[in-house]
Amino acid sequence: MIFPDAMLGMLGGGQLGRMFTLAAHSMGYRVTVLDPDFLSPAGAIADVHLKAAYQDREELGRLAETCLAVTTEFENVPAESLRWLAAHCAVRPAGEAVAVVQDRIREKRFLQANGFPLGAFAVIESEADLGKLDASLLPGILKRARFGYDGKGQAAVETLEEARAAFAALGAEPCVLERRLALWCEVSVVVARGADGQAVSFPVAENRHRNGILDVTIVPATVPGELARKAERIAVEAAERLGYCGVLAVEFFVTADRQLLANEIAPRPHNSGHYTIDACVTSQFEQQVRTLCGLPLGDPRLLSPIVMVNLLGEAWKRGEPAWDVVLKHPDAKLHLYGKHEARPGRKMGHFTVLGSTAEAALDRALAIRATLCPELALEPA
């Protein structure tokens, strides 16, 4: 085990790295962040901020020399950097596990090979693959295999002609085409798994999106108990099959006929898991510290129904938002990420509202959001 006052390493300096650093500091650890952004949210509060590219061997070497263990906050960190670090210090999750889920093609094939339920899809690596496309996959969503997130790097297509045009617009890079599904809702499960194989899952979260970006998370999810338990089982099994050590999230579609289908795996804490900071015995970020340091896992138990609302750059359209709108509510918690520039679609923070029921918390949260940012008063599509 790695005990407090040790230096831990973080590849990535965004808000997830910032919340990891806060959790690590509260437990008595020190943190070195490697991120090229001089204004990174995590770098601003870390003990050490190495301002370099993720492939910079000199700075990776400094990270390995000064840290007992290293983790990551985003899936697009070069897996080769994780593998290199692993030869010099503990690295969790392993580079190979991250490599599987940072590529949609490998991820889909992993899910398929392990018998997890998922929607129909096709791998599109060239124009020729479109010529052999099964017509039943249209209409669909064409997604770039690498470096896509929050709706970026994807396009809705109705016809083969639109699919060809979208493939070209995405740079003719390898893609996955997923058949469009009639959905009832979307849910996610955050799992923590230790190096000893012990794993626990947090309660299932129900997620609503706006323009491809997570908008609102409701916990507990309003899905049947049997379906929730199945989602938790699949998420834990996915972590086991990956040989994963750390925190990951599995996103699911729930179709109109109540089928549960795995969608994506995120090899890190997840936006939909931020509710754990305010509503669970142990947060997803404390679990990340615990798995990194080889400590026993914390209790993931939910203490109160809760709703999380993302705060995007749109909320700054008229200047600094009126935070008293949130802070005057004793059951609301505000979390800002320390980003220096607000842009449309950029995650700047979030707030949560706790309540006696998820429905009560949702009503209060949406009312607060409607006052704080009237442009987002309408329910997401």
Domain ranges of the chain: 7-91, 120-179, 183-373
348/338 Cα distance (integer angstroms): 7
**The architecture CATH gives domain 120-179:** 2-Layer Sandwich (3.30)
In Å, how far from its chain's centre is CA 61? 27
Q: Say what the pLDDT of residue 150 is.
A: 62
Q: Say what the pLDDT of residue 303 is.
A: 98
Q: Say what the pLDDT of residue 20 is.
A: 98
Q: Say what the pLDDT of residue 170 is.
A: 94
Beta strands at 205-210 and 199-201: parallel, antiparallel or unpaired: unpaired
Extract the residue ranges of the chain whose pLDDT is less than 70: 149-151, 377-381
130/183 Cα distance (integer angstroms): 26
User: What CATH number does domain 7-91 carry, 3.40.50.300, 3.40.50.720, 3.40.50.20, 2.10.10.90?
Assistant: 3.40.50.20
Q: Say what the pLDDT of residue 376 is.
A: 72
**Is 350 within 8 Å of 372 (Cβ atoms)?**
no
Residues 6+ apart with CB under 8 A from 310: 213, 214, 215, 216, 271, 347, 350
Class of domain 183-373: alpha beta
Q: Say what the pLDDT of residue 375 is.
A: 74
Q: Which of 293, 234, 286 is nearest to 259 (CA)?
A: 234
pTM to 2 decimals?
0.95
Q: Which helix (H) or strand (E) holds 68?
A: none
In Å, how far from its chain's centre is CA 78? 17
Distances in whole angstroms, Cα of residue 258 to Cα of each of 141, 229, 261 = 21, 14, 9
Give every strand in the sheet of 90-91, ordered side by side: 48-50, 30-34, 7-11, 69-72, 90-91
121 class by beta-carbon count within 10 Å (0-12 exposed, 13-18 middle, 19+ buried): buried
In this structure, the chain runs to a length of 381
Q: Say what the pLDDT of residue 374 is.
A: 85
- The CA-based dihedral angle spanning residues 99, 338, 270, 292, taken in that order and rounded to the nearest 10 degrees: 60
User: Helices 284-293 & 15-26, crossing angle to 10 degrees?
Assistant: 70
Q: Which helix (H) or strand (E) holds 279?
A: helix 276-279
237-275: burial string, b at 16+ Cβ within 10 Å, e else: bbbebbebbbbbbbbbbbeeeeebbbbbbbbbbbbbbbb
Q: Which of 228, 229, 217 is nearest to 271 (CA)?
A: 217
Same fold, 120-179 and 183-373: no
